[in-house]
Every structure is written in structure tokens, then in C-alpha cells.
Amino acid sequence: MSSVAPAAGGVGVLPRRKFELVLAGMPRRRAAEKRFRLYGQIAIGLGLAFLVILFASIILNGYTAFWQTHIRLDVTLDAARIDPQGNRDPEALRRADYNELIRDQLRAMFPDVSGRRDRLALYGLVSNGASFDLRDRVLANPELVGQKIALWVPADDDIDMLMKGNVDRSVPESDRRLKDNQLAWVDKLAAEGRLQQRFNADFFTRGDSRDAELAGIWGAAVGSLLTLMVTLALSFPLGVAAAVYLEEFAPRNRWTDLIEVNINNLAAVPSIVFGLLGLAVFINFFGLPRSAPLVGGLVLTLMTLPTIIIASRAALKSVPPSIREGALGIGASPMQVMIYHVVPLALPGMLTGTIIGMAQALGETAPLLMIGMVAFIADIPKGIFDPATALPVQIYLWADSPERAFVERTSAAIIVLLAFLAVMNAVAVVLRRRFERRW
Amino acid sequence: MTATQTSAVDATVAASRVKDAVNLSHIATVARDVRETVGEVRVRTPRMRCTAVNVYYGDKQAIKNVSVDVGQNEVLAMIGPSGCGKTTFLRCLNRMNDTIAGCRVTGEIVMDGEDINARRIDVVPLRARVSMVFQKPNPFPKSIWENVAFGPRIHGLAQDKTELEEIVVNSLKRAGLWDEVKDRLGDPGTGLSGGQQQRLCIARSIAVQPEVILMDEPCSALDPISTARIEELIDELREHYSICIVTHSMQQAARVSQRTAYFHLGDLIEVGDTKQIFTRPRHQLTEDYITGRFG
Amino acid sequence: MQPSVLVLVLLLLSSAAYYAGRKRAFTVAQGRLRNLQSLPAYYGLYTAIWCGLPALLLLAAWVSLEHTIITNAVVAGLPEEIRQLGPDRLNLIVNDIKNIVQGNIVSRAPDAVMDAAAGRYRSLLAISHAAMFVVALALAIGAAAFTLTRIKPKQRARNAVETIILALLIACSTIAILTTVGIVLSVLFESIRFFQAVPVTDFLFGLDWSPQIALRADQAGSSGAFGAVPIFAGTFMITLIAMAVAVPIGLMSAIYLSEYATRQVRAVAKPLLEILAGIPTVVYGFFAALIVAPFLRDTGGMFGLGIASESALAAGLVMGIMIIPFVSSLSDDVMNAVPQAMRDGAYGMGATQSGNHPPGDLPGGTARHRRCDPARGVAGDRRDHDRRDGGRPRRQPHREPIRGGHHRDGADRHAADRRPGVRQSQDPRGVRAGVGAVRGDAGPERDRPLHRAQVPGAV
Ligand SMILES: Nc1ncnc2c1ncn2[C@@H]1O[C@H](COP(=O)(O)OP(=O)(O)OP(=O)(O)O)[C@@H](O)[C@H]1O
Ligand SMILES: [Mg+2]
């Protein structure tokens, strides 16, 4: 370092006065240094604090959604009403009016409630889904007909919020969703031990619903899964093929440069633009069904391709050239070298890149909004042509709902989404650690 | 510009004389640029015959007008100072230079009556006939068995499993590695010692049943004992193959080869019987090099 | 017959063709592999490709065009008065017809005309599928049979197969270009349509944004306004706020992590900060609406400021948090791009670490957007990247001994790889080139001190 030498050696020949000046400035400079360090620590602290606040607020808001207030009803399964023929025909059992049974039971528990409005308020304590639960129970076990069974049914979301302490009773009645008489009934139920927080299985097994207590993420999760499957099935082979071509076979020319510039540009294009593209090309031009995981997968494929290509190229680059030479030297064709030696060695790196791309795709909302995966869909999608939504879009939808109970569910869905992302990234890290080779 | 023209110009004004001096010196360098090869370039039974081979990396010429024969069942050693183009020339012989972007080869390299640089020649079978062992041992990161079996498999040399096994075992035996690895054929080839790895690479290249084996400083990464084993091996292999070996060790060249070629800055300076080259070199540069005055 | 069934049939045929081709190769070689120019499997693949590929391509083209053609035919057969309707109404009717065909719910009660049209659609579709089936199968079988008869020992089947595979690889890499073209075209056409309805000047300079277009003139909200100035202003404001949050935090934390922090702190803090970049945007949005906006409203209220819940402040703040890791890795790159010699020079002249920093680093560096390098998507990935650079000189050995090791490896490999020149010729520009990826220019600069260091006494 020739430039350093004279300067370093210069200290010795520094005139005495100047040297003292430097020394005198030292404390000031040390203090500045310390301050600078402090700023750095504060910055990191702030960054981490944001992270903690983000996670804490989501988890604190969301974990309660994994439990749901249930009401115990002792329902008499009157054979005359649900199975008039008495032959336990499943079709007849399916069509029976279970709602009426539940209402009867509620009326029996609160005999002094009268008047249409009050009765409706009373029925409102129990979720609309209760009758379906009852029906499923009966269908699963027709022997129950004629018996009196204890049934835990989900409470209405307002009751749930009340029991979780999210409703302020001091607010004037007119501003409350739960009226005073309902509060009294709830208190009575609670006193009788008929209210209980139970594990919210519905949240994990149901599709979307207008009723918060019935809304689940299963539909969105299946939608996400189908979408990701399409994405994976397309983007992995396409990405690897493109990377292999560019890294192993492409001659250096304008066309190759053009492709590379395009790939790098696409990596920086905002994701919503891919949604626009999907809308214009896949839906409007090719006439593929709107809201379908197929189209979502296609769009996300285009979005994640640059990621996968760039990561795969990095993985291919890390395979030492000596291996290619060795194989070429005994007469393997470039294609054989690629298939037998290079790609297997680069595969872990390619998979890592693919998983990261998939994680990116899983968290993506904007492009899916453009292709109509934002519709309210209560059914669980059965295939890639069915209308579906995806987890992040479900979060987006729920975040818009005014009910307090949806805030909780949104946060819970976010927890689930983040858990999936964490798992995927962890797999990517493990894969990299396990298979990373040092040449 | 010819000499007569130059002398004509000579008679003109002083200013143009300066210019011509430059031109003259240019001619001189060009003349010195391509040297005649001293010694017996041709042999009686050639396996490969190279004529006027030039190699360019972009604009830079790395091999200049080299003509030489690789004889049947002989070991041809290539020596010369670093960067003189030994590797480059060696890689011409099985067209490994094709893999380098910007590398251009001209001239004729004939094997079995065909120019291997001709368009219609498929490099893949060519490289099976002229296989290559590299300076750094580069076994595939697969099992020892797979390393050796890969070549025969892709070239369809074995009709069935037993034949393949035969080829693998024979190759390992010929490479002198069989006794050391026979109990662990499933272990990764990269787990062997450096010398064993290099012998594995040799086994790998003889498994494709080549006619010529190219070796680029095969012992430069090895200890004396491994080196001695490989030299022995080369001597045995000569029976069936022609071998071209690049080496920086004059002793090695003297020990293993029948003919030696001395390269210098892209030129083939001298080629001839190994004994003659090392005892009575005919070219000054060769003598300087082998006596250690240069290089 | 469904196209998916046909695909299956074709795949089955292809695999049969593979075995037939292989067997044929054995036969023509009289059972000796050495008589064959390529391995029998290549003859099989060659036959299979000729059997499957043309038919599948035909199938794809057929399926993608079929609906358009049939729709046009059906529309042409509709009664005159329906065809006279505007394109929008006609579109609705066509959609209804398609819905009837697929047995979906229809927006209105189907009438006789539409039922008839749906019937015609169905029958045309059936004819089309049948024709497709016949043509594709004939093509597949014919091509396979022809290929089989042409198999000869001297045929270069491997070369042919590899050429086809190469063509497929090229096609795959061309998708990037097609995507770009698609994006440009779709955005362009939509914009043109938009600007036909709304004058450009209104959009660029209008001060009112209420994007709605009424279907009928008498509808409520028929007065849409498309002045984008509020949007631009909002975006600009949010960006400013986000930068105000992210730049100081990101920059300072990058400097701290790379210059002062111990290895342990770095190993923990850096991945943690990078988590911020992996959180989906929708989560940030929810966080802004749920936590940040109310918090700002309440604190603003305490100081007598009326901060609305939808203020740009909340959005900007959260966006700032979101991009902290981007800014910080960006600044890390910038700092690493400062040549080691310059740094040593600064130390040599008695600079303290911080004194060395802002003036020395920032102008010397270059910028690169983090998203361009997804290989770093997982926390703590930087190292791979560094190694790919062939070992970038690192300043402080105490900071990251592991890294030091890495880059020594890298340097060796670099030196070793240069020789055969295979990889060397394809320069690392690939990953670098593009939008913000202008880091390569610092490359030679970075390499130099390394080489000097390798030669003893080079100073
Ligand atoms: N891939 C390449 N691109 C450009 N020039 C190259 C390339 N490979 C080699 N060269 C140049 O060609 C000349 C001959 O190189 P070559 O590798 O053949 O020398 P060598 O005799 O094998 O040297 P060594 O004994 O050190 O192995 C050298 O000047 C070298 O710089
Ligand atoms: Mg060499």
C-alpha cells in the first residue's frame, strides 16, 4: 500500500506544534465517535423495537381467536320433528329443521322472554352455524334421535367478544351492539356454567363467512395451497430451465443480454403490475376463469420466475468448472454434463431459491386482487378452476370488516400466514446449511 | 514491405527513414514471431498428425503454427516455461478449447484420416477417443464406482451390468487403484487422497477405452510416491494408448516419455527423441531451458 | 372428450413410443450397442418427442383458440336485434350463454334464444373436441411411426434430442421477454383506453380524485373525477415520510453492524432486522390501520393535533419500517464498495472509524436494490453473495472471522477458476446487470488489494 506508507511514516516527522494540535483534537473526536456509536445502537434498537411491536400486537390481538365462546344447550332431539317417518333416512335427517330445535331450547331456557324483537335478540345469542353443528352430529350418529343431548354450540361473535373482555359495558346501550337484556341473559348463562371458551376448530376447518364466529381460514388456505401448487409446478421447471440455458449454454450476444436485462428488471417490477398482466392476458385474452387458483398460480409464476432464475443461476455458478471439464474430457456432451453432474449439484441451491420464491408468492396480495381472487367465497375450492381466495387476500378482506371479532380473526390469520412463511424460510435455511458444499 | 522497397525508401529524406526503421523492426519481430521447429516433427506411425495449428484467444495468439505428430504407443512429453501454451495445445487435441468462449483454432489435426476440427465431426465421440486427465484431480462428487462407470455408460460401451462391472474393475486395476478401493466402491470419490483421486481420474478416462490420453500436469498436486505410481502407470498404459503429457518436471519428462516437445511463447521450438533432447538439444532455447538457465 | 384426457392419452402414447424407439434401435444395431451412434434411450426419446410434442403443441393452440372461434360463430348466429346491442351488452349475453353451457348460475332467466345459442355452443364445442382428438392422435401416431422407420445405426439421435432440449430451454428463457412485452402492452392498452375517456391533462393536473364511471348517466356518482395530483401528492408524501424513517435507521444500523458490532450481535441483529423485509405487505397494512393509526390519533389528540386515522403519517411510518432492511443492506453494499486501500489510507492517516464513514463511503459507493438479489432472501445470506464475488476484501478481521475464511476460499477458487477459463468467460455480469445492479464497476477496484496482499513484499 504505497499510498499509506508516507502518511504512516509521516507521523514521526510531523512538526511538534502540529502533532500537539492533533492530540488536542483527540478527545473531541473520541466523543463524536461515541455519539456515532450510540446513534447506531439506537437505530438498531428502534428497528428491533418495531419488529417486537409488530409481532406483539399481532399475536396479542390474534391468539384469542384460537378459542371461541361456546354455549351449552341441552337439546331434545324430538323424533317426531326431525324424523317423522321414523326410518332414519339420512336425506330426511338432512332436511329437518334443526334451527327450530335450538330456538325451542333457547325459549325453554329463558321462558320469560316474549315479543318478536326480544325473541330474535335471544336467538341471536347463538351462532347461525349452531343448527349445522347439530345436524352434522345427528347425521353422524342417527341413534341420537329421540334422546336429549348436551350440545356445545358456538356463541355469536358479539357474545364471544364480550366474554373475551372486548366489550365495554359502560358505553350507553344505544351505542352497543349487545343490548342490556342480552347482557343479562349472557350473565345468567355464564352463572349456570353454560358458557365456555373452547378450542376454535371452526377457524381451521371452515371457509369464509359473514359471521365472524363461523369464519375460518381453511378455504383461503386451500386456495393458497392450490395457487402455490400451480406456481411451483410451473415456476420451478421454467426457472431452472431458463437458468440452465443462460448459465450453461447461452452464447454471449445481444439476445442473451436482452433476456438477462429483462429478468433483472422483472425482479424489480411492483407485484400489482403482474396482476394487471394476468387480467389482460390470462382472463381477458385466454378466457381463463376469474378468481381461479390457476390464474393466480400463473400470475405468481411470472412474478417469482426472476427470483428463481437468479437464485438458480447463482447455484449453477457455484458448481466448480473442474467438474464440467472432467466430464467433458471423457466425452460427455454438454447436455449430459448438465443433467448428470451440474444440475444435481446445484439442486439444493435451486430449491432454496424456489422456496424463497414460493414464500414471496404466498405473502402476495396485490396481484391476486387484480385477477378477482378477492371475492367473498365461502366454499372450500376443490380444484384449480374453482373460485378461491388466498390467505393474504383473506386477511385483506377481513381487515376491512367492521366487526371487532374480525380484528381478532385477521390477526389470527396473520399468525398462521407468518407461521407458514417462517416454516418455509426455515426449510430454505436448513436446506442451504445441509447441502451447501465447500469446494 | 519488401527489402528492395526498403532500400529504395532508404535513399529518401531523413524523416521517412525514421518511419521505415520502425517498419523494419516490425518485420523483424514478425520474422522472429513464427519459428521453425527443430527436430523430427513427424514419426513413422502417427496416431494424430497436427499441421500448422494456430490458437487464438480473442486477438491474442497462444499457439503459433505448430506441427507435430503424436505417435502410436508413445508418450509425448510437452515441456516449456509457464504460459507458453502447452495446455492450450493439449486441449486442441480433443477440442476442449471449444468450451472456451473466444477461443479459435486453425490448422489441421488429423486422426484416422479425418480432420478433427471439421464441422461434421461430433466432438462427443472424439473426446471419448481422446480423453483427458487434468492438472487438479477432479473426481465427480459421486461414488468411486459412479466415477468410473459414468463414461462407459454414456458411451454405451457395456452391453449389460456384468460388462460394465468388468470395465470398471479393469480400469481401476489398470490405474493401480483397485487394491486400495475394492472394498469401498460406494464411497465418494472426493473422499480419496489426492494421489488416489488423480488415479481415479485416470481410471475414469481409460474406462471410456480411448486411443489417446491427454494429461495436463497430472502429478503437479501429488507427493513423490503418488507421482512414482502414476509414472509407472503411464509406462504401462503406453502399451495400449498414445499419451500426451504436459509436465514441468524435466526428470519426469525424461523418465516417462519417448519423445519430448519444447514449447516457448506459443512456438514449438524443438521436438525429438527424449534422450536426444535432454542430452544434445539442438536449439539454444531448449538448451537454456533444460539446463535451468531459463524458465 | 376433454382436452385433459387427450393430454393423458398423448403422454401414454409418447411413453409407448419411447419403448418402441429404443427397441427399434436395438434391432437395427443387431443387439450390439457399439454399432449405434447414440445410446438406445436417445432413439427412444427422439421417437417419444416426435410423437408427443407436435400433437401437444397443436392441442395447446387448438384449446386456446377454440373458444374465441366458437364464440364468434355463436354470436354470428344470434338474432339480428341482439347483435345490434352495444359491445358491453353483447358481452354480458355471451357470458350468460357460456354460463348456461357450463351449468352455472345465470344473471337472468334464460330465454329461448339463449338456450338455442347455448345448445349451438355445446354442439360446436363437441365437434371441435372430437376433431381435435382425431387430428392430434393421427399426428402423434403418424409422427411416431415415421420416426420409427427412420431409425438407423448412424443416425445422431443424441444430437437431435439435445437440440430439441436446447430449443425448449431457450423457449423457457424467452418467457422473461414475453412477460415484459405483456406488461408493457397490457399497461399501454389500458392507459390508452383510459386516456380516451379522460383527457391526459385532466389526469395529470386535475385536483380531484373520485374514480367512478356510471353505467347510466342518471346514476348517482356519475361525475367521476380523475385528477391524479392528489394521488401523486399522497404517494410523494408517504415516500418522504417513509424515507425519513428508514434512511436514518437503516443507514445507522448498517454502519453500526458492519463497523462496531461484535460478531454475536451481528449474527443476531442482522437476521432479525431482515425479517422485516419478509413480512407480507398486507400485514403491514393491517398493522398500520390497527395499531399505528389509532396510536398516532391518540398521541396527536394529546397535543391538540387532529391526526386522521387515514393520514399519510401512519402509512409512511409503516412503510418506512418495512424498508429498513432494504436501506440497511443497500448501505452495507455501498460501504463494501469502498476500496480497502482507501479505507486503510484513512486509518493510516489517523481517522477514527466514524470519521472515516460518511465522507469516505457514500460517494464512493454504488447502489443496488435489494430485491434484485433474491439469493439473499433468507436472513443472513450475504455471505454467499460475497463469495460469488470471488472474495471481496473485508476490512476488519475481528469482525467476521468466518467471512475472512470464506473469502480466502473464494480467492483461491477465483484464481484456480481463471485458468481453464470456462466459467471465466461468462462473466458475473449476468446477475448484476439490469436496473439498479451497477455494482460490478467496483469489482476490479476491490480485487486489487487482494492480489497485492498475495504477493509478499508488494508494498
Ligand atoms: N481462457 C483463456 N483466455 C485467454 N487467454 C488464455 C486463456 N487460457 C490461456 N490463455 C493464455 O494463453 C497462453 C498459453 O496458456 P497455457 O495455459 O496454454 O500455458 P501453459 O503452457 O499451459 O502454462 P502453465 O505451464 O502455467 O500451465 C498464456 O499466455 C495464457 O495467458
Ligand atoms: Mg498449463
Q: What is the value of ipTM here, to two decimals?
A: 0.84
The answer on pLDDT for B121 being more than 70 is: yes
Give the binding-site residues of ligand 1, using a 6 Å CB cut-off.
B 57, 62, 80, 82-88, 100; C 421
Nearest to B100 among C33, C34, C421 (CB): C421
Stretch C436-448: mean pLDDT, rounded?
A: 31
List chain A residues with CB under 8 Å of C273: 44, 47-48, 51
Note whether B136 contacts C416, CB cutoff 8 Å.
Answer: yes
Q: Identity (one letter) of the amino acid at A24?
A: A
Tell me the C-alpha distance between B131 and B126, whole Å.
8
The pLDDT of residue A419: 93
Angle between helices B161-174 and B144-155 (to 10 degrees): 120
Contact, C343 vs C394, CB < 8 A?
Answer: no
Q: pLDDT for B181-205, tens place per residue? A: 989 999 999 889 888 999 999 999 9
Q: Quick one: which ligand is closest to B134's CA?
A: 2
Closest residue of chain A to C184, computed from CA coordinates: A277
pLDDT band at C223 (very low <50, low <70, confident <90, very high): low
Tell me the C-alpha distance between A210 and B37, whole Å.
92
DSSP 8-state secondary structure symbol assigned to residue C288: I
Phi then psi for residue B133, to 5 deg, are -115, 135
- CB proximity B102 to C under 8 Å: yes
Closest residue of chain B to C422, computed from CA coordinates: B100
The pLDDT of residue A291: 87
The pLDDT of residue B4: 43
Stretch B10-28: mean pLDDT, rounded?
A: 43
Average pLDDT taken over every residue of chain C: 72
Q: pLDDT for C79-99, tens place per residue? A: 877 777 777 777 778 877 877
Contact, B259 vs B76, CB < 8 A?
Answer: yes
Rounded to the nearest angstrom, the distance between the alpha carbon of A319 and the centre of ligand 2 is: 22
The answer on pLDDT for C162 being more than 80 is: yes
Using alpha carbons only, give the angle C405, C411, C415 rounded to the nearest 5 degrees: 150
Count of all residues that appear for chain C in the document:
459
The pLDDT of residue B204: 92
Q: Which of B86, B91, B97 to mutate to test the pocket of ligand 1 (most atoms within 8 A of CB)?
A: B86
The pLDDT of residue A368: 92
Residues of chain A with pLDDT under 50: 1-11
Note whether A328 contacts B150, CB cutoff 8 Å.
Answer: no
Phi then psi for residue A264, to 5 deg, are -65, -35
Atom of ligand 1 minimally distant from the CA of B55: 12
**pTM score above 0.95:** no
The pLDDT of residue C446: 33
The pLDDT of residue C165: 94
The answer on pLDDT for B10 being more than 60 is: no
The pLDDT of residue C1: 57
Give the CA dihedral B9, B14, B17, B22, nearest 10 degrees.
-160
The pLDDT of residue B144: 94
pLDDT band at C344 (very low <50, low <70, confident <90, very high): low
Note whether B131 contacts A329, CB cutoff 8 Å.
Answer: yes
Handedness of CA C197, C199, C204, C210 (dihedral sign): negative
Handedness of CA C113, C117, C118, C122 (dihedral sign): positive
Note whether A326 contacts B94, CB cutoff 8 Å.
Answer: no
Closest residue of chain A to C431, computed from CA coordinates: A310
Contact, A150 vs A208, CB < 8 A?
Answer: no
Average pLDDT taken over every residue of chain B: 84
Contact, A269 vs A338, CB < 8 A?
Answer: no
Stretch B168-177: mean pLDDT, rounded?
A: 89
The pLDDT of residue B9: 40
Note whether A335 contacts C172, CB cutoff 8 Å.
Answer: no
Give the CA dihedral B79, B80, B82, B88, nearest 10 degrees.
-70
Q: Which CATH architecture has domain B2-290?
A: 3-Layer(aba) Sandwich (3.40)
- CB proximity B2 to C under 8 Å: no
The answer on pLDDT for C32 being more than 50 is: yes
Q: Identity (one letter) of the amino acid at A436?
A: E
Task: Please tell me whether residue A274 adopts helix, strand or coil conformation.
Answer: helix
- CB proximity C154 to B under 8 Å: no
Tally the C-alpha atoms within 13 A of residue B165's C-alpha that lie toward its C-beta. 5
Nearest to C272 among A48, A263, A317 (CB): A48
Note whether C280 contacts A392, CB cutoff 8 Å.
Answer: yes
List chain A residues with CB under 8 Å of C166: 245, 249, 335
The pLDDT of residue C105: 63
Tell me the C-alpha distance between A244 and A240, whole Å.
6
The pLDDT of residue C423: 34
The pLDDT of residue A72: 85
Q: pLDDT for B255-264, tens place per residue? A: 999 999 999 8
For residue C364 the three cell numbers come to: 464512493
Rounded to the nearest angstrom, the distance between the alpha carbon of B85 and the centre of ligand 2 is: 7
Contact, C380 vs C271, CB < 8 A?
Answer: yes
Q: What is the largest distance, in Å, between two alpha-carbon atoms of chain C? A: 96
User: Any idea which of B38-47, B146-155, C403-412 has the lowest mean pLDDT?
Assistant: C403-412
The pLDDT of residue A245: 94
Tally the C-alpha atoms within 13 A of residue C10's C-alpha that lie toward its C-beta. 29
Stretch C246-250: mean pLDDT, rounded?
A: 91
- CB neighbour burial string for A275-300, b if at least 16 within 10 angstroms, e if fewer: bbbbbbbbbeeeebbebbbbbbbbbb
Note whether A264 contacts C437, CB cutoff 8 Å.
Answer: yes
- For chain B, the domains span 2-290
Q: pLDDT for A18-60, tens place per residue? A: 777 777 777 888 888 888 889 999 999 999 999 999 999 999 8
Neighbours of B288 (CB within 10 A): 14
Stretch C233-254: mean pLDDT, rounded?
A: 90
Chains adjacent to C (≥3 CB pairs closer than 8 angstroms): A, B
What H or E segment, with its residue span, contains residue A376?
none
Q: For the sheet containing B103-111, what is the strand order? A: B60-71, B46-57, B103-111, B114-115
The pLDDT of residue C372: 35
The pLDDT of residue C221: 53
CATH class for the region spanning A218-435: mainly alpha
The pLDDT of residue C450: 31
The answer on pLDDT for C411 being more than 70 is: no
The pLDDT of residue B105: 92
Closest residue of chain C to A426, computed from CA coordinates: C378
Neighbours of C64 (CB within 10 A): 13
Contact, C374 vs A307, CB < 8 A?
Answer: yes
- For chain C, the domains span 3-172, 182-227
The pLDDT of residue B294: 62
- For chain A, the domains span 4-63, 66-209, 218-435
Q: Which of A153, A54, A339 is nearest to C165 (CA)?
A: A339
List chain B residues with CB under 8 Å of C159: 122
